[in-house]
Amino acid sequence: MPREILIDFARCTGCLSCRLACAVAHTQAKSLFDAVLAGEKPRARIFVHQLGQQKAPINCRHCTDAPCLDACMAGAMYRKEDGTVTNEGGEQRCVGCWMCVMVCPYGAITSDAAGTVALKCDRNCRDESGTPACVRACPTGALVYTEVEDYSAHRRHGALGKILAGGAGAP
């Protein structure tokens, strides 16, 4: 069964642990201290937003009908066998045209420090148990990595998805 990162919006305290963990996990050095020493510029691919009292982490939903896949004019954005949508690790290279940024309804795609390639959640931060770094770091259980049936995965994309993604939808 596919596993997805689910967000429990009620539990987020806005502590930003997920962002730090995400940024560090995506460095070569794998530790903040060593990464900074080595001149790396750690960038988080998960975002924490606050509106009034409401706080919440938002990251890529790896949408079923991901608009970023349609928009990528370099052919760099692709879906891996495990469902992960990413612009890294394939043969084609991201060119930083921001077409994906223009169509992501969650605003979940950012750019690298130099502003030359798009960065997004690639789940390339999973430990031996397969759990992503942001989930491991979340102290309140606002982020949960869990198996979802295809059906509920659909429903979930439905929930967040319908709200913002609008016409994206099938097929």
Partner 1 sequence: MHFVVIGTSAAGIAALETLRRLGGTRARLTAVTDEPSEPYSRCLLPDLLAGKKSEYSIRLRPAGFFPKLGVEFLAGFKVVALHPEEKKVFLEDGRQLSFDRLLVATGASPVMPEVPGVDTRGVFALRTLQDAREMASLFPRVSRAMILGGGLVGLKAALALKVAGVPHVTVAVASPRLLTRQLDEEAAAMVERELTAAGLEFIYNAQPRAFVPGPHGTLAGVELADGRELPADLAVVAKGVRPNVQLVREAGGLVGAGIEVDRYLRTSLPDVFAAGDCVQVTDRLTGRKTNSALWTLAAEQGRYAAANMLGLARSYPPPLTRLNSARFGNLDVVAVGKMEGEEVLRAFEGTTGTYRRLVFEGDRLVGFILAGKVKGAGVYTALVKTGRPAWKWRHLLLEGRAGRVVLGCLPPQRRVESKIS
Interface residues with partner 1 (CB under 8 A) are 6-10, 47, 49-51, 54, 56, 58, 65, 67, 69-71, 73-75, 90-93, 95-107, 109-111, 115, 141, 144, 146, 152, 155-156, 159-160, 163-167, 169-171
Torsion sign across C-alpha atoms 31, 33, 37, 43: positive
* Burial (0-12, 13-18, 19+ Cβ within 10 Å), 163: exposed
Q: Which is nearer to partner 1, 21 or 143 (CB)?
A: 143
| Cβ at position 64, least distance to partner 1 in Å | 12
State how far the alpha carbon of 129 is from the alpha carbons of 25, 125, 146, in Å: 15, 11, 12
Could you say which DSSP state residue 11 is in?
G
Q: Which is nearer to partner 1, 130 or 141 (CB)?
A: 141
| Cβ at position 128, least distance to partner 1 in Å | 23
Q: Which is nearer to partner 1, 36 or 103 (CB)?
A: 103
| Cβ at position 36, least distance to partner 1 in Å | 23
One-letter amino acid for residue 64 of the chain: T
Torsion sign across C-alpha atoms 88, 16, 20, 156: negative
Q: Which is nearer to partner 1, 38 or 98 (CB)?
A: 98
Q: Which residues contact 152 (CB under 8 A, 6 or more apart)?
A: none
| Cβ at position 23, least distance to partner 1 in Å | 16
| Cβ at position 62, least distance to partner 1 in Å | 14
State how far the alpha carbon of 11 is from the alpha carbons of 32, 133, 141, 144, in Å: 26, 18, 7, 11
Q: Which is nearer to partner 1, 29 or 158 (CB)?
A: 158
